Amino acid sequence: MRAYGISSEEAVRARGLLKDWTGEGFLTAAQYQRMEQDTVCDLRRTNIFLRIVLFLFTLIIVGAVVALFFVGFRLLPEAHATGIFLLIFAAVSYAAAEVAVQARLYRYGIEEALAVCSVGCLYVGMEAASFGDRAFSLEPGGAGFLVPASCVIVSLWIWHRFGLPYAPLAAMIFVLDLTSRLTSSHTAQHLIVAAFYIAGLITVTALRSRHRFTYLGITYLNDEYSIAEALLWFGIYLAINLQLSSLNLLGQWWSGARTTTEFSSTFYWATWVLIWCLPPVVLARGLRLKDRWVIAVGAAVAILTLVTNKPYLGWQRHTWDPMLLGALLIGVALFVRRWLANGPGEIRRGFTARRLSGKDKAWMNAGAIAFGLLSPNITTPSPQAGSPDVQFGGGDSGGGGATSDF
């Protein structure tokens, strides 16, 4: 059922590791060339920057085609007709993604954008075709939940079919929409979302344990399950942390005000206990599996717990709070690094503080470039306009027999 063969994806993964190890000096050029011959792959790939460009261009092209079609046929006032044609476009986009895969495109941006367009057209098309003018304005409790439920299934299918790591995230977002259409109670919404994510986490954990000691357990499938599990852990935390569900986060955190009227006192303080219990569980799970994605999520939710603790308790926040948090994180990082470095061979239980891979450096460089492109005005000072009220004149200077006016 996978769009790509196991041997092809294994070859892609192996070639990536070979390039990484060679760049870090663990393999010589001769060893790399000799081992590269065993990882020949017919899949067509590109670098991350061109992949993003092709993804965006494909989205623009599909959107332009859809808009041109609707403007040409004057279908915009007819909601049901619009929905039907969007469903047709969803099928066409998915078929085009399959054709791109048959052309051996792999993480090329084009097939990914087509798959994304198919899900987006499906969502809007089902909503418009089913409910017409009442689309996106239904009251909770009706049949409107069937639309996001269908998109959840399709997103999971795309994850299984194409192996896109962000497809589970799309399914989780559709779960939020599904929950809001089932009930208007905020407490029930939080509980239902957490229940869905916990069910998904149990499923992914079972799949990982099934392949853990097999050949598939060390392949790309484990990487996909790792990302999915990390996303689910993070989703569960966000679902139970009530301080992260408000739209006015900064205002509430800074003033220390908390909104508890929509939640019962028992539920509110139960979630406060859970946000302190969940980070150690996630960290323990990640450390036991040596899973960097889960470990990163565990560290992230631990920091979020520290950040949201004062708003939960209704305490006043101070300007020095971020400084204290930064000092605490620096201290923890230095302690962990020194503790690992003092181990035999700078290794403790399979962990080391030494950088064994160049992937982190590559991601940091990409992030720095993206940050520079998105915020060029941060480092470039804006020109200062001269004040018309300031005028110079009437003074003189001199010395040594020389004078001058200014």
Task: Measure the CA angle with vertex 254, ends 270 and 324; round to 5°.
Answer: 85
pTM of the model: 0.81
Q: Which residue carries 């989205």 as its tokens?
A: 59
Q: Which whole number is the average pLDDT over 354-377?
A: 61
Structure tokens that stand for 1 in this block: 């059922």
Q: Where does the pLDDT of residue 253 fall: very low under 50, low under 70, confident under 90, or very high at 90 and above?
A: very low
Residue type at 27 in one-letter notation: L
Q: Which residue has the higher pLDDT, 80 or 103?
A: 103
> What pLDDT is attached to residue 218?
47
| Ramachandran sector of residue 109 (left: φ over 0; alpha: ψ -120 to 50; beta: rest) | left
Domain boundaries, the chain: 44-181, 185-317
Q: CA–CA distance from 249 to each of 8, 147, 172, 254, 271 (Å)? A: 46, 30, 22, 9, 17
Q: Which residue carries 């299984």 as its tokens?
A: 160
Helices 167-182/110-131 angle, 10° precision = 10
Q: Which residue has the higher pLDDT, 76 or 275?
A: 275
> What pLDDT is attached to residue 364?
61
* Element housing 398 (H / E): strand 396-399
Residue type at 281 in one-letter notation: V
Helices 110-131/79-102 angle, 10° precision = 160
Q: Where does the pLDDT of residue 44 fall: very low under 50, low under 70, confident under 90, or very high at 90 and above?
A: confident
Q: What is the DSSP letter of 347?
A: E
Q: Which whole number is the average pLDDT over 7-34?
A: 79
- Integer distance in angstroms from the first to the last C-alpha of the chain? 83
Read off the pLDDT of residues 376-395 as tens digits, 9 standing for 90 and up. 554 444 554 554 555 555 55
Alpha helices in 132-241 (DSSP H): 146-162, 167-182, 186-210, 220-240
